[in-house]
Structure 1
Amino acid sequence: MTPNPQNPGKPSSGNPATQQTIKQQRAAQREAKVAAFKKEQERKKRNKRLGIGAAVVGGVAVAGVLTFAIVASIPRYATYTAGGGDATIDGVETYTETNNHTTDPVSYDVTPPAGGDHNPVWLNCGIYTEPQVNENAVHSLEHGAVWVTYDPSISDEELETLRSLMPSTYAILSPYEGMDTPIAVSAWGAQLKVDSADDARIPEFFENYWRSDSVPEPGAACVGGVTGEGKA
């Protein structure tokens, strides 16, 4: 018998069982890569959800801080009941005043003035950091406002106390040069002078003279007039 010649350049097909094992290994590797890819994708999704959750929580926290800051920044005003303007308070001086309108400067007998002839335009009520024109402020008193004036040299603590005593409307707070007392509280025809912002008679004065119905023009506006320099 003549033997079959072998082709030295052709590789052997190998054992079929070995070829199957190689295919299984490759399939397993592909499955492992797919599983790893899916695991990585799940990790990214989980981190994204955690990031969104943290952002939401952080956003809520920031919103809470901002809300607190906004609420804290809102001015807190004192509240009073409109008085009749006829109570007796120790130290209050009362006056009978004329109430003519004039565009000329007025020479007042009381400093600061507590009534009298005044400018046709009233001063808008509020807190001012600069001195105000007498004639405009007196017109506001005619409408029932209370005017709190203070010597510019009082301490920041005293000024803050005065601010805390102010209602949201029908009140004016401003510095005033040349007073003979650190603080004066004036309404139409009535005035109280005190040495300290902690004097208990200040809120008592408000309770009795603020928006009094005994002024010449009770209930008239305290806005819509002229705004002075330095309105806070």
Structure 2
Amino acid sequence: MKPRTTPGSQQRSPTNTKGSRSPARLQRPLIAVGVPLLLAAGALTYGLTANGSGQPTPSAEKGPTMIEGVISYAGLSRNHVQTAVTYPQRPGVGGDHSPVWTNCGAYDRPVQETRAVHSLEHGAVWISYQPGLPADDIAKLARLATNQSHVLVSPFPGQGSLIEATAWGKQLSVTDPADPRLFAFIKAFQQGPQTPEPGETCSGGVNG
């Protein structure tokens, strides 16, 4: 299966196997004290952070990552495994994954989830959508990968929302491919501060 946008490099397979890293610390919620108006305004900036049990809890997204609706997940393992992995999220936002990554680009068929999660570790943003989305909407999403080194677009059967934007430890659900939060998500998290391996490529892996 070939992507609509050719990622460019020839396939190679990583030779090093990484063990578990130290879990990222949960962000502490900002607490506004005093003026009710400040409390209301502060509430608008809250994202969500999931604790170890997978239950989301309020957490403020700061600076350029302050995007309404983003859920954050911490404590994600990073082992390379050859077996199937069942992720709590659909699609997975991180955790154990394949030793080889999926080349970034736009695909018209589902990609292997464990390889795509490895792409997230390299700083990719994965835009996935439910199969059956109108062709015009799919074309809009595919264009998000144009001239982007670390954007992956593909269908993902069984996900809860029409469209999911996923980075390592971050996820945003939307229903409209023109939602400005998609562009903001890519800008904030493509090779963003959450990236476990900043500077790593999203080509030279495999297609799919």
CA–CA distance in structure 2, aligned partners of residues 170 and 200 of structure 1: 19
* Aligned with residue 71 of structure 2, among 89, 93, 101: 93
Q: How many residues align?
A: 146
Q: Please state whether the residue corresponding to 1:149 is helix, strand or coil.
A: strand
Report what 1:160 is aligned to.
139
Once the two structures are superposed, the pairs formed by residues 104-123 of structure 1 within 5 Å of their partners are 104-123=83-102
CA–CA distance in structure 2, aligned partners of residues 120 and 85 of structure 1: 33
Amino acid of the structure 2 residue aligned with 1:150: Y
Amino acid of the structure 1 residue aligned with 2:126: W
Higher helix residue share: 1
CA–CA distance in structure 1, aligned partners of residues 103 and 173 of structure 2: 23
Using structure 1 for the length normalisation, give the TM-score: 0.60
Report what 1:65 is aligned to.
none
Q: CA deviation at 1:85?
A: 9.3
Residues 1:148 and 2:119 aligned together: no
Report percent identity of matched pairs.
40
Amino acid of the structure 1 residue aligned with 2:118: H
Structure 2 unpaired stretches of 5+: 6-61
Structure 1 unpaired stretches of 5+: 1-74, 76-83
CA–CA distance in structure 1, aligned partners of residues 187 and 133 of structure 2: 24
Report what 2:37 is aligned to.
none
CA–CA distance in structure 2, aligned partners of residues 221 and 85 of structure 1: 26
CA–CA distance in structure 2, aligned partners of residues 134 and 223 of structure 1: 16
Once the two structures are superposed, the pairs formed by residues 38-49 of structure 1 within 5 Å of their partners are none
Q: Is the 8 A contact 1:85 1:209 kept in 2?
A: no
Identify if the C-alpha distance between structure 1 residues 151 and 85 changes in structure 2 by more than 3 Å, giving closer, same or farther: farther
Report what 1:186 is aligned to.
166
Q: Please state whether the residue corresponding to 1:137 is helix, strand or coil.
A: helix
Report what 2:115 is aligned to.
136
Report what 2:187 is aligned to.
207
Residues 1:195 and 2:175 aligned together: yes
Q: Is the 8 A contact 2:169 2:194 kept in 1?
A: no
Q: Please state whether the residue corresponding to 2:65 is helix, strand or coil.
A: coil
Q: Please state whether the residue corresponding to 2:184 is helix, strand or coil.
A: helix
CA–CA distance in structure 2, aligned partners of residues 88 and 204 of structure 1: 9
In our comparison, the structure showing a higher alpha carbon Rg is 1
Report what 1:41 is aligned to.
none
**4+ runs deviating over 3 angstroms:** none
Using structure 2 for the length normalisation, give the TM-score: 0.67
Q: Is the 8 A contact 1:123 1:136 kept in 2?
A: yes
Q: CA deviation at 1:100?
A: 1.0
CA–CA distance in structure 2, aligned partners of residues 214 and 197 of structure 1: 24
Higher strand residue share: 2
